[in-house]
Amino acid sequence: MRIIPAIDIIDGKCVRLSKGDYNTKKVYNKNPLEVAKTFEDHGITYLHLVDLDGAKSQHIVNHHVLESICNGTNLKVDFGGGLKSDEDLRIAFESGANQITGGSIAVKKSATFKEWLSKYGCEKIILGADCNNRKIATSGWLETSELDVVDFIKQYEQEGVSYVICTDITKDGMLQGTSNELYKEIMTETKVKLIASGGVSTIDDLIQLKEMGCEGAIIGKAFYEGRITLAQLRELC
């Protein structure tokens, strides 16, 4: 299982939220590149970088942070947040993104998202399936649709999606454990490469996700709050 630390960006700074609520913002470091280098120095290979300003603004905003991390490290970065147009995607890939994650676009402009899959291939495009009580959320989690998360993933698996990041918003940033039953259901109902996100609080959570068969696991607040150490991540990697 791939261990994928997350860096969320607001105003160019490394922050974390609770349940996606922008009012709960906590700044952990004003220099995201410094954080990314620390991950790399401890054997981490992958990074999940989220442009929270972009998610709110409906277009890419913090691409300069993406570029600085890609130029300053060898991390393989998947980038998401506010990618709504072909121009946004061009900027993200030219800034060094290895993969991009599209969530809201897959709901609101499915034809565009399918075009991206066709143009760039399933190895480059990750489906973001962020849900609140099983319902797909969009626009930086500020809106909730009527789409069931498992049905949503099934639909896009038929379109060629291979990688899926599934975040249970009720768990995100709460340090109360992961949505294992939901992840088991997704892996039973589909054959996608599932990247679990939200709720990781201890190294045991990561071990459970690995034993379940998740392709990857994203870790955020548990690291920043000292619940999981870089030494533990290195060992698990």
For the annotated catalytic residues, the residue numbers are 8, 130
For the beta carbon of residue 55, count every other beta carbon within 10 angstroms.
28
Strands 216-219 vs 99-102: parallel, antiparallel or unpaired: unpaired
Q: What is the 3-state secondary structure (H, E, C) of the chain?
A: CEEEEEEEEECCEEEEEECCEEEEEEEEECCHHHHHHHHHHCCCCEEEEEEHHHHHHCCCCCHHHHHHHHHHCCCEEEEECCCCCHHHHHHHHHCCCCEEEECHHHHHCHHHHHHHHHHHCCCCEEEEEEEECCEEEECCCCEEEEEEHHHHHHHHHCCCCCEEEEEECCCCCCCCCCCHHHHHHHHHHCCCEEEEECCCCCHHHHHHHHHHCCCEEEECHHHHCCCCCHHHHHHHC
